[in-house]
Structures are given as structure tokens and as C-alpha cells.
Structure 1
Amino acid sequence: MSLSTVPAGTRSEAAANAAPAEARRHELAAFLRSRRERIAPDQVGLPTTGRRRTPGLRREEVAQLAAVGVTWYTWLEQGRAIQVSVQVLDAVARALLLDRNERAHLFALAGADDPSPVLECATVTPAVRLMLDQFGSMPAAVVNSRYDVLAHNRAYTHLAGDLDAQPFEDRNLLWMAFTPSRFRDVLVDVEVEREGMVARFRSAMADHSAEPAWKALLARLRKASPDFEAAWERHEVERPGNGVKRFLVPGTGLLSFDYTGLWLGPRVGSRLVVYTPRCTETRERLERLEQLGSPAAG
């Protein structure tokens, strides 16, 4: 059936349905170009030869690495309406060295289901989970450099609330520190603590500034919190380290901790953060909290 023989109402509906798909293709094209341009040839084992007019890899080099046709990949980067298989998307994701968040973004823009989704950070292994549980009444959590809480033990809920009841995107300490939450409510010296968190987030983001998940979190925080926006505009930077934190838990009293970050890999990234009591009172109060069970989400 030609377009001229389709009823006007049907043509309007078809055009409306096509608009989001076209916008998504253009976004996919821009995303692929940005990922390609950030990769140096030597990162993927290619020689650096000749003069390059654009940064990063050439389209034909990505096609070679992904074992797909150059014309096909060029059309994909041009936002053309072509069929894309999940196998080819997987190959492109590997060629462009996409992390788990970027990979998920790629498949979402392509309107395809990822055949190998990564639902959990690889650093949260069964061994790490066992370690979390072994800390008993001492709060402990696995936190990445973006401040996402990837895993935690039951004692940690006394400080941060029932994280399992929250959407994954809200299980972020920066988000909880700058928006209403149990974590913000019980954190003593909250203003000072927030300044330090923003400074460490800015420092870490220098290595991730082009990644969608980092940009999305930054945009979300700036929109949600004028206090975060003000702290962000001060351009303070700070490296992660150990220190002291205090929490005032209703019905329990003041909890004072030394917190220690144990890196889970050879590079700065995810770390196991353990809160050890600084005094006998804190230790006893933690034990009483454990007997009472986990608090409700807040």
C-alpha cells in the first residue's frame, strides 16, 4: 500500500510514531560518535599511522574491530533507519570499550534487549557479600566512585534506611545527602560532609565526564538541589580517604565511627566502606539496634 492510499488519520498516527524512533536514532548516532572519538588507536591494539583529522578511531577501524561492514556502521552513525541485530550491537559495544552503563544506554537507544545484561557490579562477588555479612553489627557497604551503594549489610540500614525498598537510581549517597532521606536526617555535620562528597565526586568525574550515567546523575543533582548546585560551582576537588562520621539516630543516640575504605581492585573505583565504633557507647548502641532489626525506609 502506498502512502497516498493510506487514510489521512493513519498517516498522522504513523508520523507520530516515527518521530520518537527518529529522535532515538539521532541520539544513538551522536552517542556512537562520542564513544568512538574518545578511544585512541593504541587502546585497542591499532597502530597510530598517518595524520588524523578527527580524534579517536576512524569509522572503518570501529567496523574492523566489531567485524561489521564499514558501510553498515557508517549508516548506523548517520542515524539511518536500518535493522540492527543484538549480536552486532554486542560487537560494537565491545569494540568501543563501553562500560555496563554505556552498554545499557546503547541497547536502549537501539530499542533492543541486551542478551547479556549486567545487573550487578562485578566487584560485588559472593566473597564480598560474605565479607559484608561478617561485619555483624558494624555498618558496611560497597560504594563506587559515583557514590552508588552497590551492596550493604543489615547494620548499614540503621544509617541509610531500607535501600532495597528504593529505586536503584536513588541508592546513591550524594542523592541521599542532598534530597530528603534517612541518611540526610541522621548525618551529623551534614553541611561539611556534603561539601567533601561533592569535592570527591568532582575529582572522580574527571575520569568519567563523558559517561552517560555520570552526566545523568550530575544533571539530576543540579536540578534537584540548589545546595548541590552551589557546591558544584565552587569547583573544589578532593581525593577519597578515611575519616570520622557521626550519626544521630532517633531513639538510639549518637553513633560515632571511624570509616575505612578498602579498595576492591587495583585502581580507584568501588570500595568496601566499613564503619567501626569509636567508643564503647557506639558499640553498645549498635548491638541494641541489631536486636531491634532494620528501620523502615526514610
Structure 2
Amino acid sequence: MTTITAPTDSRRTELATFLRSRRERISPEQVGLPPTGRRRTPGLRREEVAQLAAVGVTWYTWLEQGRDIQVSAQVLDSVARTLQLDQSERAHLFVLAGSEDPSPVQDCPTITPSVRAVMEQLEPLPAVVLNSRYDILAHNHAYTWIAGDLDALPFEERNVLWQAFSDSRFASVLVDLAGARESVTARFRAAMAEHSSEPVWKNLLQRLRRTFPEFEKVWERHEVDGPSNGLKRFLLPEVGLVRFEYTNLWLGPRLGTRLVTYTPQDEETRSRLEQLAGMR
């Protein structure tokens, strides 16, 4: 039996922010509403979400304001559909609201117990599972040595692009940060060609462009690149320089979700990984 925990003040605040960000990325045309000319704010209005989800305007406003109100699973389901949430976003919505999903989406079939077991067996080699949008879907403990405590980050920041351009542990220890930013942006642009009309992709792009001026500069170069293996160096404050060859291991027939492993290039790196493992 699933135990449901009532949302705390901090979770209600995050729920409010999450709903607002998803509402602002949906245009009236995407949900079949007629255009109404220029709007002061992007996306849908609160009353439009309430209308489409068949809930009261006041109730939805209180929900988006983070007030302490009771939320039924059926209403959350309607809101999720109206805001066109993907599987991960839907699950996140129900967790924040402290409600059990009546139609739960199973974990991504590529993140199976066997994949998690492989990541654990790779210790002390860092390993991470990414989708084509560069969202971080799963990782082993060794990956935290280069990326920090990802579980402590907000849902929206568990993304390699966000990590590369923000003030993150990943960005601070990556030796060739400028080159990595250019590379991942070019690959993201190429991958987005197949998903340019999807709200979750457009929302990520908008947030990156709005938040990071450096990303905007790189994005405007219109470089594209395909996925490939390569080399990365990290200067870790705990042990010093480590050198890796990273390898993409695809978890399906298409170039989407993959397991990325970091293999030491030299014995010095391997020794330093053992040293990090001994600090746990």
C-alpha cells in the first residue's frame, strides 16, 4: 500500500512554481483556444487552465499560490492533461501534491532494475542514464563525485545542459567547460529537430535562453552535432585531476535514452577513484 504524505510548506511552494512554469509554456492555440492578441504574460491564463481542467478558478488560483488546500487525484489528473505534462512531470506533480496517481505511469522501461544493477556494479566508475533531452534519469554514487548531490536539486535542474551552464559542481570541476558547453548545445539542437513542437522541449530551451546569457550566445551559433563518445577531464578538489573516456551505451533501438559510463584513461585516475570510494 502506498503511503501518501501531506505536502509541506516548501513542497506547496515548489508545486505553485512548477504549475506556473508549465502554464506559461502552453499557448492558447495548443489547447484549441482562439488567439486573443497580445498578452501581458506568456502562455495560458489561470482562468483558462481552470476552464480546460473543469475546476473552479478560485480553487486553481489557490493551488498555484501554494495555499494549504485539499487536492483530489482526479483534479490533479485533469490539470496534468490540460498542461500537457509528460510522464516525469506528471509523477512530479503528484509527489508535490502529496497525492497518489490513479493512473500511475510506470518507470521508464529503459531504467529497469537490471540497468540500475549495472550502474552499481560499475562502481567506482561514474555512470549516468540520460534521455535525448539530456535529462538525468538515474545515476550511481560515483557520478556524484563529478556532479554533486543531484537528488538535492529541484526537478528542473537535473539536466546536463542546466548543469553545464549554471553555477554547479559539474561546471566547477569540468576542465574544458567552454568546449563542453559548445558540444552539448550542438547535440541538443540536433536532437531537438525531432521534438521542436513538444512543450517540454520548448520549455527547457526557453528557460536556458532566459536564465543563461552564455547559453544564448552558444545557441545563436546554430552549430549541430550528433551523439558520440569522447574524453573529459575533471579537477576534483578531493583528489585532483581525473581523466575519463565517456561511452554512450544505447538502451533502445533509437538514439534516445542511453547509459553513459566514465572509464579511467590512466592508472592515476583509477587510483584516485579508489581513493574517493574509500572516503564514503
- Report if TM-score (shorter chain) is over 0.5: yes
1:31 Cα deviation after fit: 3.0
| CA distance in structure 2 between the partners assigned to 1:170 and 1:106 by the alignment | 16
The answer on whether the counterparts of 1:86 and 1:113 sit within 8 Å (CA) in structure 2 is: no
The 5 Å alignment of 1:192-207 reads: 192-207=179-194
Report the AA paired with residue 263 of structure 1. Answer: W
- Residue of structure 2 in register with 1:244 after alignment: 231
**Cα pair distance change 1:81/1:177, threshold 3 Å:** closer
1:81 Cα deviation after fit: 7.9
**Cα pair distance change 1:158/1:31, threshold 3 Å:** same
- Residue of structure 2 in register with 1:133 after alignment: 120
Task: Spell out structure 1 runs of 4+ moving beyond 6 A.
Answer: 102-107
1:211 Cα deviation after fit: 1.5
The partner residue of 1:211 within 198, 203, 210 is 198
Secondary structure (helix, strand or coil) at the match of 2:171 reads: helix
Secondary structure (helix, strand or coil) at the match of 1:156 reads: helix
- Residue of structure 1 in register with 2:29 after alignment: 30
The 5 Å alignment of 1:84-99 reads: 99=86
- Residue of structure 1 in register with 2:140 after alignment: 153
1:114 Cα deviation after fit: 5.0
| CA distance in structure 2 between the partners assigned to 1:291 and 1:33 by the alignment | 57
- Residue of structure 2 in register with 1:46 after alignment: none
The answer on whether the counterparts of 2:209 and 2:216 sit within 8 Å (CA) in structure 1 is: yes
1:100 Cα deviation after fit: 2.3
The 5 Å alignment of 1:37-52 reads: none
1:120 Cα deviation after fit: 4.0
Q: 1:30-51: CA deviations, max 9, x gaps?
A: 33449xxxxxxxxxxxxxxxxx
Q: 1:140-180: CA deviations, max 9, x gaps?
A: 01011111111111110100001111122111111011010
| CA distance in structure 2 between the partners assigned to 1:261 and 1:175 by the alignment | 20
Report the AA paired with residue 230 of structure 1. Answer: K
Mapped pair 1:163 → 2:150: yes
Secondary structure (helix, strand or coil) at the match of 2:227 reads: coil
**Cα pair distance change 1:98/1:149, threshold 3 Å:** closer
What TM-score comes out, normalization by structure 2 length? 0.68
| CA distance in structure 1 between the partners assigned to 2:106 and 2:146 by the alignment | 25
What TM-score comes out, normalization by structure 1 length? 0.64
Higher helix share: 1
The answer on whether the counterparts of 1:141 and 1:274 sit within 8 Å (CA) in structure 2 is: yes
The alignment of Structure 1 onto Structure 2 pairs a total of residues equal to 218
The partner residue of 1:263 within 250, 271, 276 is 250
Aligned-residue CA RMSD (Å): 3.3
The answer on whether the counterparts of 1:101 and 1:213 sit within 8 Å (CA) in structure 2 is: no
The 5 Å alignment of 1:9-28 reads: none
The answer on whether the counterparts of 2:86 and 2:200 sit within 8 Å (CA) in structure 1 is: no
1:121 Cα deviation after fit: 2.9
1:122 Cα deviation after fit: 2.9
Secondary structure (helix, strand or coil) at the match of 1:292 reads: coil
The answer on whether the counterparts of 1:199 and 1:237 sit within 8 Å (CA) in structure 2 is: yes
1:290 Cα deviation after fit: 0.7
Report the AA paired with residue 31 of structure 1. Answer: Q
| CA distance in structure 1 between the partners assigned to 2:121 and 2:162 by the alignment | 28
**Cα pair distance change 1:276/1:106, threshold 3 Å:** closer
1:115 Cα deviation after fit: 2.3
The partner residue of 2:216 within 216, 225, 229 is 229
Pair member with larger Rg: 1
| CA distance in structure 2 between the partners assigned to 1:211 and 1:141 by the alignment | 24
Secondary structure (helix, strand or coil) at the match of 2:188 reads: helix
| CA distance in structure 2 between the partners assigned to 1:250 and 1:187 by the alignment | 11
| CA distance in structure 2 between the partners assigned to 1:224 and 1:32 by the alignment | 27
| CA distance in structure 1 between the partners assigned to 2:275 and 2:91 by the alignment | 42
